[in-house]
Every structure is written in structure tokens, then in C-alpha cells.
Structure 1
Amino acid sequence: MASTSITEPAVAVPASEADAAPSEAALRAHEDRLRRRESMLRIVVPAAIVALLLLAWEWTVRANNIPHYILPAPSLIIRTLFDNWESLSSALWFTVKLTLLALVAAIVGGVLLAIAFALFKWVEIGLFPIAVILQVTPIIAIAPLILIYVSSTTAALLLCAWIVAFFPILSNTVIGLKSADSNLRDLFQLYKASPWQTFRYLLAPSALPYFMAGLKIAGGLSLIGAVVAEFTAGTAGKETGLASRILESSFRTEIPMMFAALLLVSLLGIVIFIVFAALSRLVLGHWHESEMRRER
């Protein structure tokens, strides 16, 4: 008996449907356009809002004839900034140095202590309460004592800024080191990985996103600590920061000068945040969900 085979007829796909299916290159180009549009909106929209606020501020001062010693107009603040740039630039550089040095010291001390906390339980039990006490105590309350006991004013200011910036680095890094997947820990133990291999290939990658988050927080806090410490010290002279310029201006009732120094402090804080946000995207953007760009 002859065997018969049944074959299904081939279904032809209409040319219109094949053409309608987007190619991979077209999808990638569309995603690139969406990302560029989103990046542009992130810049244009805040800039437009800030410009409108500044225009409203300028108009309010001019329309109501508000004296400059009560509320200076933005145009007067910018002019004062350029007229006194020599004095303000040296103060800005001093504040930048103090902030960066405090931040570097906080990173080194916070990361090393966090590693000790993660590897040795008794170190965490003994020292973590002290770190918490330093964090919850207002820096404005202990800054006068630091200025009394530390002979160098610059070193005292650096210590105050370091205390403020230290805890976010420590706390976030400790949490990151402890957040490694327990199953992966068991796998490393199963394959008899050394402590250095476990730290290098498991603990450090797990802690990196938390460390970057702490770094963005500590960057702004180090600037706040430097400014608050200088306010408390009340130092004057050439080797001083923007906080001293603000104090001097308030004593002399030079309100436009005070606003100009305050503008530089704000811009410095914005630059610090933008730099660390970009660094976080650079380090984590190709592998971690917190920084990977997804189409919404």
C-alpha cells in the first residue's frame, strides 16, 4: 500500500505586511531620536523655568523700585560678580579646594572603614555607633570645639567638612557590601574562592551602585560642611572662602556682593552634583538598572 504524505500549503506573506515590519536599524534610529529628545528636554525645560523666574525677579524689582540693599536685581548681581571677580574667584578656589579635600578624605576613610565593617563584625559593633554619633550631632554645635582644639584654621575647616561628608559614604558602602546575593556567596564558597576573589568579583560590584549614590550625597554635603564651618569660624582675610565673603558683605550691608557670593556657592553645588551624576552614568550605565536608559 502506497504511503501518502500530506504537506501544508505555504502561506505567502503579503508584501505590504513584510514592508510594514520595522527593521532593527529603524528601531535603533527611533530609540536614538527619543533619547536625544529626552536629553534636550532635560536641559531646555529647566533652563526655561529658571529664565522665567529670573525675568520675574528682575521685573518685580524694577516695577516696585525695590532698593538694592533690600533685594538686588539679577542684572545687578551679575554686574557685581564681574566687578569683584578677583576677590570672589580667590574665595571660590579656596572653597573648591576645601570641599574636594574633605570629599577625598571622606571617600578614603569611608570606603576603608566600610570594608572593615563588612569583613570584621567586631569592628562594626565597636565603631559604627561612634560614626552615628558624629552624623547626628549638628556640625554647627561641634565646630567651635574643633576650632578651639585644632590650631590650624584650615585643618579645622577641613575636619568639619569631612565629618559631614563621611557618613553617607560609609553607610551606603556598608549596605552595598552586605547586599551581595546570598546564593552567589554560597557559589563562591563552593568553588573555594579566596577572600580577595570574593571581594573583587562579588562584594565590590554589589557595593558600587550604593557607593555612587553615597558619593552624590557626600559631594553636596562636603560643600555644606565647608561653608558652615567657615561661618562658624568667622575668618577674614585673603585665604578665606565664599562663606567669609558672605559674612563680610552682611557686616557692610553690601547685599549685591552677598548675593554674588551666594550665587557662586549654588553654582559650585550644581557643578558637583552634575559631575558625580555623569560619573555614575559612566560607571553604571552599561550594566546596572539604576543608570541604564530605557524607553518609557
Structure 2
Amino acid sequence: MTAIDSPAPLVDAEEVRRLRQEKLESIGRWVLPLAIMVLAVFLWDRICVWNEIPKYILPRPGVVMQTMYSDAGLLFSSLLVTLKITFLSLLLAVIGGVGLSVLFTQSKWVEMSFFPFAIVLQVTPIVAIFPLINIYVANQTVKLLLCAWIVAFFPILSNTTLGLNSVDRNLRDMFRLNGATRWQQLRYLRLPAAMPYFLGGLKIAGGLSLIGAVVAEFVAGASGQSSGLASRIIEAGYRLNAPRLFAALILISLAGIVIFLVLSLISHLILRRWHESAIKQER
């Protein structure tokens, strides 16, 4: 074997090690969280047994699953109500946030005039705004939708505005030198450049829209007017029905996880062929 050929086995061994490491990481990405979750559920069950905790204080996981099955009609119908508010508010946040972001990038005067109001909506707690909404809005669904929209709106607006304003200056000058109109720059340069920022804001807004819907239902549900999962939690708390309360909490958590995963998948599918954040990096 010559001196030139001698490094080849080392390179092959390094490649095998790298592939093995990638395989272990891909498996561990799913196995480790599931193992920790199973261990947490097991400890939850054992704590209830060892301390003889009554189910109206802390129910065992099996009791919660049984309640979720027996109350499935009530819980899942309430889940649909909550999800309807969540997705409608997210859709309105996307339309309003993207539309206003485009206006901001087309006119600095518009941005300076209206962006502070968006910040005010973001920093003001929704529980403080809801009493005013309750006075001026009669329809209960519109009340909940408006509250959830306020929570989800700002991440879309701020991230998309940041993306539209983060265009490479050299590319922008090139478009101007070639006689591109303002709307051509928006369509072929600014919007594609802003897509990763928008999708990042969308993932944040997806979770916030669910949080906003649940918080709005909590505030409205205090008077028994809401039929979403939050009102079921309030009702279960008043009746010391802890199994139903835990079942509703689990459904809300699962809904949030599914929303995040779906939006992450959409983001990956859109960006995977051209943006560095989604392209698999070589090690």
C-alpha cells in the first residue's frame, strides 16, 4: 500500500462513524422524549398510589384516560369549538398581519403611524381588554375570535415586516437599475425574502392563537356562555371533577402540539429546496 492510499481507510471509518451518529440521533430524537413521557406518567401513577391521593385531587392516568373515553362526546365537541376559534383567529391574523406589513414597507409614514398601536395591542393583557370587548360586541363567537386574533396578530406583523425590510441592498439596487416597479420588487424580491420570517411568525402565532382562544373562553366562560374546552375546565373545577379537568388539559396540550407540528411541516416543505434554514447541512 502506498503513502497516497493509506488515508482511505481513515476516511471510510470516519464516514461510518458519522452515519452511525446520525442514525442514533434520528432514533433518539423520538425515543428519548417518549421514554421520558412514559417515565413521567408512571411516576404520576405511582405517586397517586403511594400517597393514596383521592381522584378528586389528583386522579391516576388510567382514570383520566377512562374519563376522556366516557366523556368523549362532550370533550371533543368542546375541542372543536376551541379549534374553530383558533384557526379562524390565525387566518385573520395572517391576512391582517401580512397585509399591514406590506403597507408598512410601501410607506414609512404608514408604519410610523400604525405600528405603535400594534405594540399597544400586544403588550396589553387580553384579560384587561376583554371587558371592553364584552361591552361593545354582542356576539359571543366574535368576542372570542377578536381576543384570540389580538394575541396572534403581532408575531405575524412583526416577523413579516422584519422580513420585508431585510432584503439585500445590492439586490434591491439591481431591481431599481433594471426599472422594476415598487410592486415588482414586492412580488419578486421582498415577499420571497420575507417567507422564512413569515413562517417563523406563523409557528409562533399558531400556538398563541390557541392560547388566546382558551384565555378568552376562560374569561367568557365564567358566566357560562362559552362551550369550549376552557369552560369545561372551569365547570370541572367547580364540581371537583379532576379527571375531566385533566382530560381537557391533555386535549388542549395535544391540540397545541399538533398545530405546531403541522405548521413546522408546512414551513419545511416550503423552504426545504432553497433556504439555508431548511437545507440539511453537511457535517
Deviation at 1:39, TM superposition (A): 2.9
TM-score normalised by L of structure 1 = 0.88
Paired position in structure 2 for 1:78 = 65
Q: State the Cα deviation string for residues 247-272 of structure 1 (Å, max 9, x = none).
A: 11011111111110011001101111
Aligned to 1:99: 86
| Paired position in structure 1 for 2:194 | 207
CA distance in 1, matches of 2:138, 2:121: 21
Q: How many residues align?
A: 281
- Return the alpha-carbon distance in structure 1 between the equivalents of residues 76 and 167 of structure 2: 45
The residue that corresponds to 1:180 in the other structure is 167
1:116/1:124 contact within 8 Å kept: yes
Determine which of 252, 257, 279 is the counterpart of 1:292: 279
| Structure 2 equivalent of residue 247 of structure 1 | 234
| SS of the residue 1:290 aligns to | coil
In structure 1, the partner of 2:52 is 65
Does 2:182 match 1:195? yes
CA–CA distance in 2 between the matches of 1:13 and 1:116? Answer: 67
Structure 1 counterpart of 2:217: 230
Specify the alignment match of 1:281 in structure 2.
268
Match for 2:102 among 107, 115, 137? 115
**TM-aligned CA deviation for residue 289 of structure 1:** 1.9
Structure 2 partner of 1:40:
27
- Greater Rg over alpha carbons, structure: 1
Quote the offset at 1:40 in angstroms: 2.4
Corresponding position of 1:6? none
Kept in 2, the 8 Å contact 1:94–1:241? The answer is yes
- The 10-residue stretch of structure 1 (31-40 or 252-261) with the greater mean CA deviation from structure 2: 31-40
Matched, 1:128 2:100: no
CA contact (8 A) 1:162 1:222 kept: yes
Give the percent of matched residue pairs that are identical in Structure 1 and Structure 2.
51
User: How much has 1:286 moved relative to structure 2?
Assistant: 2.1
Secondary structure of the corresponding residue to residue 123 of structure 1: helix
Q: Secondary structure at the match of 1:65?
A: coil
| 1:151 aligned partner | 138
5+ residue gaps, structure 2, are none
Aligned to 2:255: 268
Q: Name the CA distance, whole Å, in 1 between partners of 2:190 and 2:196.
A: 11
Which of 167, 178, 181 in structure 1 is aligned with 2:154? 167
Deviates most, 89-98 or 277-286: 277-286
1:219 corresponds to: 206
Distance 1:268 1:241 in 2: 13
Alpha-carbon distance in 2 for matches of 1:15, 1:133:
68
Alpha-carbon RMSD: 2.2
Structure 1 residue 236, shift from structure 2 partner: 3.4
Question: Per the alignment, do residues 265 and 93 of structure 1 end up closer, same or farther by CA in structure 2, a change over 3 Å counting?
Answer: same
Higher mean alpha-carbon deviation, 218-227 vs 188-197, is at 188-197
Q: C-alpha separation between the residues in 2 aligned to 1:260 and 1:148?
A: 33
Distance 1:79 1:242 in 2: 18
Tell me the equivalent position of 1:51. Answer: 38
